[in-house]
Amino acid sequence: MSGARSELERIAHSIHRRGLTHGRTGNLAVREGERILVTPTGVGLDEVEASELSVLDRSGRHLDGPKPTKEAFLHVAVMRARPQTHAIVHTHSVHAAALSCLADLNPTEPLPPLTAYYGMRVGQLQVLPYFAPGDPAATQAVERAAESGHALLLRNHGPVVAGASLGEALDALEELEHTTQIYLLTAGMRTAPLSPAQLAALSAPATTERPRP
């Protein structure tokens, strides 16, 4: 069993266990050489097994394993736009999903940088227009947005976050979820976001990972 498969199973179970998705929502992908491993359709993240993953080529063609998630095209588009990306996490985490439903969001800065770790691990968050789940028409918009940033928010849907590893992508997604929760809790109150100078002074790299539970 490859390390990529085992890591994908472990991260998928961790996401579900900690309530970052619900039911059979959410999906993950990781590069394995020239192939892309993705979670199958109709399988909750708590049910993901390393031996039962969908295998795609770099163009998104299904090569082996069970039928892939209907949102596999999101992962393929991001990886095509970001060659440095080796893993992607997509969830319907409740606070980020709530943010995606708000009217009049700034498409390039829907969240103020309220915490240092948001600045380090997320940076810019881009809001994409609404597309029905599984609609391949989103491919071009996702690929174009991913060229300039690793964190995307799908309107009325949820976040898609890429990283050099699944752990890094999940760290960024958690910071996005946490900062969104703070933002919603402080709605209507005056906040003090980090200034551009404070953001620029942050020395910890965005790739910093902490051990996953």
Active site residues: 71, 117
Residue bearing tokens 């991913």: 146
User: Distance between CA atoms of 126 and 20, rounded to whole angstroms?
Assistant: 20
**Three-state DSSP class for residue 210:** coil
- Rounded CA Rg of the chain: 16
Residue type, 164: A
Tokens of 193: 């976001």
Q: Which residues contact 41 (CB under 8 A, 6 or more apart)?
A: 54, 66, 67, 68, 69, 70
Q: Are 143 and 153 in contact (CB under 8 A)?
A: no
